[in-house]
Chain A
């Protein structure tokens, strides 16, 4: 699920519109950066951090 969809789920459509522009920018950029990348499993994340 994209961050934008998650944000709408978390704050509602109106809440999302009212979000600070800096937060909306982070959402937009992170979604763009994850395009074309495979989702990681929690195990992969833990392994990458170990």
Chain B
């Protein structure tokens, strides 16, 4: 069965930028890329998540490299590599998934779904998280719940998906869950 994996920025950033805690995330994304290369998976990233990744790279490179010229070179190289992986005219391993008007219809249901979960301080979906899940819901409607997974490094986002199976596709928390094979 060919699955659709919708990859959130929180899973993509640790793949491109090494972190001691991100070995599981990097292995998961590697596995996804190999499944995609074998045509066993379709990998999608919401287009606005690319902006989120760019923002994250900019913040940590600026904090780490003092010379603004060197920082700019490194930053552009990282962004280019990400775009090479995503752009269909280049390597195209991951497809950019466009936000459409239909994704916004009924997005309130997603935010309401967390009410019963009683989010504590700091927890809760951001507006962009809600849009990612709305896109996941759209894919679920088009391809069926079993064929769609949201891939995220955000615990809360994963929990909202997994506790609302009639509303949202299941999620893979890349810090702890394995990538399903078939």
Contact = CB atoms under 8 A, between A and B. Distances in A.
A40 B57 CA distance: 11
Q: Which of A6, A34, A46, A48 has the most CB of B within 10 A?
A: A48
Contacts of A1: 18, 23
B9 A20 contact: no
Contact of B15 (A30, A46, A49): A30
A14 to B, nearest CB: 13
B33 interface: yes
Interface in A1-38: 1, 3, 6-7, 9-11, 19-20, 22-23, 25-27, 29-30, 33-34, 37-38
Given A11-B34, A33-B16, A37-B64, A49 B9 contact: yes
B77 to A, nearest CB: 6
- A contact face: mostly helix, strand, loop, or mixed: helix
A23 B19 contact: no
Contact of A42 (B21, B30, B64): B21
- B contact face: mostly helix, strand, loop, or mixed: helix
A6 B23 contact: yes
B34 A23 contact: yes
A2 to B, nearest CB: 8
Interface residues of B, number: 39
Q: Which of B18, B37, B57, B60 has the most CB of A within 10 A?
A: B18
Contacts of B17: 34, 37, 40, 45
A47 B60 CA distance: 9
A41 B55 contact: no
Nearest to B49: A49
A27 B34 CA distance: 11
Contacts of A10: 27, 30-31
Interface of A: 1, 3, 6-7, 9-11, 19-20, 22-23, 25-27, 29-30, 33-34, 37-42, 44-49
7 contacts: A11-B34, A29-B81, A37-B18, A40-B19, A41-B20, A42-B21, A45-B17
